[in-house]
Amino acid sequence: MTFPDDKFSGIGAFIDAYAEQVAKGFASIDRDLLAKAGDILDKTYADGGVVYVCGNGGSAAISNHFHCDHLKGVQTDTTLKPRVVSLSSTVETLTAIANDISYDEVFVYQLRTMANAGDTLVTVSSSGDSENVVRAAEWATDNGVSVISFTGFSGGRSAGLADVNLHVDGDNYGVVEDVHQSIMHVLAQYLRMKRMDAGLISERKF
The predicted model scores a pTM of: 0.96
Q: What does the pLDDT look like over 172-197, one tens digit per residue?
A: 999 999 999 999 999 999 999 999 99
Q: What does the pLDDT look like over 26-79, one tens digit per residue?
A: 999 999 999 999 999 999 999 999 999 999 999 999 999 999 999 999 999 999
Q: What does the pLDDT look like over 72-131, one tens digit per residue?
A: 999 999 999 999 999 999 999 999 999 999 999 999 999 999 999 999 999 999 999 999
Taking alpha carbons only, the member of 54, 124, 130 closest to residue 90 is 54
143 by Cβ neighbours in 10 Å (0-12 / 13-18 / 19+) ranks as middle
Please tell me the predicted confidence (pLDDT) of residue 8: 96
Please tell me the predicted confidence (pLDDT) of residue 120: 98
Rounded Cα gap, residues 66 and 82, in angstroms: 11
Rounded Cα gap, residues 166 and 115, in angstroms: 22
- pLDDT above 90 (res 1): no
Q: How many residues does the chain have?
A: 206
Please tell me the predicted confidence (pLDDT) of residue 118: 98
Please tell me the predicted confidence (pLDDT) of residue 84: 98
Query: In order of start, what are the domains of the chain with their CATH numbers?
Result: 11-195 (3.40.50.10490)
